[in-house]
Amino acid sequence: MKYAREILSDVEGYVPGEQPKTADIVKLNTNENPYPASPKVLEALAEMGPDALRTYPDPVASKLRAACAKLYGYPNEAWVIAGNGMDEILALALRTFVDPGDAVLTPYPTYSLYKILTQLHGAVYVEDDLDDRYQLCESFFGRKARLCLLSRPNAPTGVASPREEVERLCKEFEGIVLIDEAYVDFAEDSCMDFPRRFENVIVARTFSKSYSLAGMRLGTATANPDLIREFLKTKDSYNLNAFTQAAGIAAIEDREHFEVTVAKVKATRSRLTDALRGLGFAVQQSQANFVLARWQGQPDAEGIFEALRARNILVRYFKMRGLKDCLRISVGTEGETDTLLEALRAIIR
C-alpha cells in the first residue's frame, strides 16, 4: 500500500470475537455480561432530549469522572480520565507515556490487543512468559520498559497475580505500570488503592463487563493528577458522547443492581468450574467472568470448539502458543451454562 505507513504492513488489526447476527446462539465468546444493565440506565437515556444530540458533550466528562472518583475512593475527578471504552484508555496510555521505539512489557499470554496497539504505535513489544500456574516469573521483575501492561485478573487465564507481587512490581519498575482491571469486579481484591501510593501506577477499568454496558463504550483510568493531566492532552477533544456519559453515571448510582448481577455471575462461575472439572477439564480458579479450561483428551480443544459452534454455542479458541489445548468460556446465565455443559457431555462422550 503506497500511502500507508510501513509499520502497518505487518499489522492485521484486532480480531474481535465473532458477533453473530442471529438470536439462536449461546454466546460465550466475548465475556459480555449475560444479565442486563441497571434499568436506570435506559431510564436516564430516555430523558435525553434534542439538546443532548444537538450540542457538544462535556469534553472532559466532569460529572462522570467525579462519580467514578467517588466510586473508586478518590477525592475528585482530577484522579480519573474517562475514555471511549477500555480500548481508548489503552491506546492513550501508549500515546501519552511511550515513544515509538520504546519497549512495552507484558506477560504472555495476555490480552491480545496489547500487542496490536504496541505495533500500531511503533513501539517494541516485550513478552515474559507466565509460569505454568499463570503467575509472573522472577525474570519479569528484571525487565526494563517504558510501560508495563498488566491485566489483573489476566485474560485469557482468569488468574490474578497476588497483590504483593503487583506491589513489588510497582515499586521496582522504572516506567508506568498500567493495571488493567477490566474483570476486577469478579475478583477477590483490587489494586485500586495503588495510584494513591505510587506515582507511576494507572488502574484501568471498563463498564463493559460488570456493568453490562459493552454497547456504550466506557472505560476509565485512575492515576495521580499529574498523569491524568498528560492523558487529557492526548485524548480526542470530545471523546465521549453525551449518552455514554449519562449511562455511566446512571449505572454507578444503582449499586444494588450491580452487586446482585456480579453475585449471580460469580455463583454460576463456581458451578461451571466444578462441572468442567468433573468432565475432566483442568480449570484454575477464575477471578473473572470467564474460565480458561484446559483439555487433553479427544476430540482436542479445537475440535470441541468446532463441535460447539456446530451446535450454535460460541466459545473462544486461541490458536496460540500455550493455549492450543484450551477453551475460554464466558460465564453465561444458568440456562446457557446448562446448554453448554450438556453439549460438552455429548461431544466428549
Distance CA 97, CA 93 (A): 6
Q: 3-state SS of 217-228?
A: CCEEEECCHHHH
With binding defined as CB under 8 A, does residue 244 bind its own copies? yes
Q: Show the binding pattern over residues 54-93: x = contacts its own copies (CB under 8 A), - = does not.
A: xxxxxx------------------------xx-xx--x--
Nearer to its own copies, 230 or 302 (CB): 230
Min. distance of Cβ 53 from its own copies in angstroms? 5
Binders in 156-195 for its own copies, by CB under 8 A = 175-176
Q: Which of residues 271-330 bind its own copies (CB under 8 A)?
A: none
CB of 347 to its own copies, least distance (A): 26
R_g (Cα) of the chain, nearest Å: 20
Output the smallest distance, CB 120 to its own copies, in A.
6
Query: Which range binds its own copies by CB under 8 A, 182-190, 209-217, 275-283, 314-322?
Result: 209-217
Residues 204 and 82: their CA atoms lie apart, in Å, by: 10
Residue 260 binds to its own copies (criterion: CB under 8 A)? no
CB-wise, 56 or 139, nearer to its own copies? 56
**296 CB-contact burial (10 Å; exposed 0-12 / middle 13-18 / buried 19+):** exposed
Q: Which of 25, 52, 126, 341 binds its own copies (CB under 8 A)?
A: 52
Q: Does 214 participate in binding its own copies (rule CB under 8 A)? A: yes
CB 316 within 8 A of CB 327: yes
According to the binding rule CB under 8 A, does residue 154 interact with its own copies? no
Phi, psi of 95 (to 5 degrees): -70, -25
Nearer to its own copies, 17 or 297 (CB): 17
Residue 243 lies near its own copies (rule: CB under 8 A): yes
Pick one of 44, 104, 179, 216: the residue that binds its own copies (CB under 8 A): 216
User: What is the Cα–Cα distance from 36 to 13, expressed in whole angstroms?
Assistant: 30
Q: What residue has cell string 498500567?
A: 178
Strand partners, 326: 294
Q: Which is nearer to its own copies, 27 or 152 (CB)?
A: 27
Given a contact cutoff of 8 angstroms between Cβ atoms, the answer to whether 339 and 315 are in contact is no
User: 156 vs 107, 132, 312, CA distance in Å?
Assistant: 12, 14, 22
The conformation of residue 316, written as its DSSP 8-state character, comes to: B
Q: Is there binding between residue 220 and its own copies (CB under 8 A)?
A: no
User: Using CB under 8 A, which of 215, 278, 280, 335 touches its own copies?
Assistant: 215
Among residues 51 and 138, whose Cβ is nearest to its own copies? 51
As to burial, measured by CB atoms within 10 angstroms (0-12 exposed, 13-18 middle, 19+ buried), residue 225 is middle
Nearer to its own copies, 135 or 241 (CB): 241
Q: What angle do CA 226, 154, 328 make, to 5 degrees?
A: 145
Please give the Cα distance from 243 to 146 (Å, whole number).
Answer: 35
* Polymer length of the chain: 349
Nearest approach, Cβ of residue 82 and its own copies (Å): 13
Residues from 28 through 47 that contact its own copies (CB under 8 A)? 30, 32-33, 35-37, 39, 41-42, 45-46
Of 230-238, 263-271, 277-285, 328-336, which part binds its own copies (CB under 8 A)? Answer: 230-238
